[in-house]
Chain A
């Protein structure tokens, strides 16, 4: 049986581990070849690539700090030379500095905004050129921190708000090129990043507080991303789909 993404090429930024890893594996399971991008953890990225290849599709590992515009150019020059096109871009890589607003400085601001927001712009610009004439999908990963206040999450929240606004502008401006642009926002998702926040006591273990009865997993986010990359989602443009098990619409809910 032919798979929905067979013959498509997807770049997933920050896909060695966490949510990016789940997205890369999900798209690969639907037949897409995957560019696995990483920043510091080559071992994790290479493991992801091996897992992808085991599904019978191709994987290419590219190390690049997406916070550095010159490195973004290197990623897309490589894809242009090696593949000549791109069908799907997932802006997943993110970093941040856990501080309250009053403790933020220029360095923390620039670091976080460069990786979480500026990279979304630059990657989308370069990706759209490789999608020219064939259309494509761009999905960026956001979080509830774009609209809600979480302790020490200020700069990441602000960067995600920029990402969501950019998603709307990109969706409209790239629509004539047949490129669908959307975002997926998760609440607390079970990953290394989250374990850090819980360990530091910065957020509560939200397991019991989620109306859906369990925490959001990387696979829950990946499933929504895969849907947005499918033709069934063609008419969804510029939206941020929230995957949170109901948490954000039931702020006053108390566990049974």
Chain B
């Protein structure tokens, strides 16, 4: 499963929405996620991929696609290290 698909599954499970509703252009607001959902999603993704998503970075995400791109960059950096 791709990184994007794994993140989509994690978010869908936490927010209780169907995966198909989570698009790269969509936002947490679009799927009616509250602040607790968002922080739980960040924590679950951090734990799954063993990476860190600092709040100051997360605040820059405009949509789900930005979130996925950030995780992919972290994983690439980890691979290089």
Instruction: List chain A positions with a Cβ less than 8 A from chain B.
Output: 40-43, 63, 65, 68, 97, 107-108, 111
Q: Main SS of the interface on chain A?
A: mixed
Query: For the complex, what is the distance from the CA of A136 to the CA of B54, rounded to whole Å?
Result: 33
Nearest residue, chain B, Cβ from A112: B36
B56 CB contacts on chain A under 8 angstroms: 41-43
Pairwise interchain contact B43-A43, C-beta atoms closer than 8 A? no
Known: A40-B42, A65-B43. A108 touches B54 (CB 8 A): no
Decide if B25 is an interface residue (CB 8 Å cutoff): no
Is residue B39 within 8 Å, beta carbon to beta carbon, of the partner chain?
Answer: yes
CB neighbours of B42 from chain A (8 A)? 40
- A129 to B: closest C-beta gap in Å: 25
Q: A108 CA to B54 CA in the complex, in Å?
A: 22
Counting CB contacts under 8 A, is B55 at the interface?
yes
Instruction: Among A40, A41, A97, find the residue whose CB has the most chain B CB atoms closer than 10 A.
Output: A40
Q: A63 vs B42: C-alpha distance in the bound complex, in angstroms?
A: 14
Q: Are A43 and B36 in contact (CB under 8 A)?
A: no
Interface residues of B in 1-40 (CB under 8 A from A): 36, 39-40
Give the docked Cα–Cα distance between A43 and B42 (Å). Answer: 17
Main secondary structure of the interface of B (DSSP, over half): helix
Which 5 residue pairs are nearest across A and B when measured between Cβ atoms? A40-B55, A42-B54, A41-B55, A97-B36, A43-B56
A41–B54 touching, CB < 8 Å:
yes
Q: Which residues on A sit within 8 Å (CB–CB) of B50?
A: none
**In the complex the two chains form, is B36's CB within 8 Å of A111's CB?**
yes
Assess the B55–A111 pair: CB atoms within 8 A.
Answer: no
Partner of B54, one of A43, A65, A97: A43
Give the chain B neighbours of A63 by CB distance below 8 A: 52
CB distance from A125 to the nearest CB of B (A): 23
- Give the residue name and chain of the B residue nearest to A41 (CB): B55
B36 touches A107 (CB 8 A): yes
Residues of B within 8 A of A68 (CB): 43
Complex interface: chain A residues within 8 A of B52 (CB)? 42, 63
CB contact list, B45-72 vs A, under 8 A: 52, 54-56, 58
Minimum CB–CB distance for B34 against chain A, Å: 8
How far is B36's CA from A97's CA once the two chains are assembled, in angstroms? Answer: 7
Across the two chains, which residue of chain B brings its CB closest to A42? B54
Least Cβ distance of A18 to chain B in Å? 14
A-B contact pairs, 16 of them (CB 8 A): A40-B39, A40-B42, A40-B54, A40-B55, A41-B54, A41-B55, A41-B56, A42-B52, A42-B54, A43-B54, A43-B56, A65-B43, A68-B43, A97-B36, A111-B36, A111-B40
Q: Which B residues touch A97, using CB under 8 A?
A: 36
Which residues of the partner chain B approach A111 to less than 8 Å between Cβ atoms? 36, 40
Q: Contacts of A65 on B, CB cut-off 8 Å?
A: 43
Q: How far, in whole Å, are A97 and B37 apart by their CA atoms in the complex?
A: 11
Tell me how far the C-beta of A22 lies from the nearest C-beta in chain B, rounded to whole angstroms. Answer: 20
B3, chain A: closest CB distance, angstroms: 21
